Structure 1
């Protein structure tokens, strides 16, 4: 008798649910939802295009993506500054630790004097298999300073007649960006030439000494630009724009010394 009663009750509940389906808390009426969502309708936030370069830095543990991006933005702003490297490192990271200016200064000096992985301030950092948030503030400062030093080096291309050709690679989320800079003497004329292999279609903009040259990639995503230059110490800037990869261009400094 009890089993029959439960069967009847179950059928009545099923009929009631079919006739009057229950609503979710956020619904005021019955809504038909699609069985699947087409990919094109999903709004994905693309990864920051230049982020992959962090994998090429010699760091004990990686920085969080957001901090690495902010640090790189600051380093690009400092590229053309006449400040020595030490003060540049301090300015690159000081906003992350606004209450510890003197300690940052001390650690910056240590980073400049020692190899990347032997900074005493990191203490046990090579043995930590966790992440940035697990570090002590002093360790976070030292790690950020180490990253800033390497970023400034990666973003700076020194060239001279003693070293007239230099090549730099930058890892991106779409592949490797290759930049090759050449200093050429053509009689009384000097030219600075930049050749590139871009991971996606893009534009090069070379600027300095009051002039600029712009070139878009053509075959195989290659682009080249050149400028006449003077036999004086001069800093040129090179912007690499790859809109399919990242809206913000990559800025590099070419330091010409005689």
Structure 2
């Protein structure tokens, strides 16, 4: 890999770290860049997943204020992400390339619809639980299994995982989007982390790529945290939709 290509991947890592912290879908910056420089698709996917873990950790540190008071909720959802991420990583290694090509766009569209109609849907969910004293701290019963499924998707590919997580938690948990965004960053780190451990053991990893993306994503995550945590919920919701639409277009054009 030439010095110029290394610099481009480093910059892509910065962009991915920034977007992952604010919204998600940073993979749609780094993954195409790796493919453009001739990195094999599976190697690019696994190397990207490992490289983005330090950025997610950096983003969680940047959102530590929003994470305050959510320890129990976060730990409960982390268990779902651990299981889902491991399943997704196994599927990536076991299934032929392109097996999820048809379902990825559907999941992105579904996530965007849920984000757009999130306030109405969350209000409806809250009203349904009023007779029982409101939503529990951890959210509606279906949040955990859906977070697990999002983890499966994230372990397999990862793009738009953050959008799906924000849609699920935004509807099923009575909390502000900014505080849920902090939880999302932790869950994304867990999914990429558990998948990365498996990939490091059994898959073909390009460690030069991992290092470049890791350094870039750490820097980008701090940029994203400083900007994203100041956004009102309405702005954050709008940015999620815009990034999601771009992610959908990029994926459809590349598939």
Which range, TM-score by smaller chain? under 0.3
Which one has the bigger helix percentage?
2
When normalised by structure 1's length, the TM-score is: 0.25
Greater strand proportion: 1
Task: Name the structure, 1 or 2, with higher relative contact order (CA <8 Å, separation 6+).
Answer: 2
Query: How does the TM-score come out when normalised to structure 2?
Result: 0.25
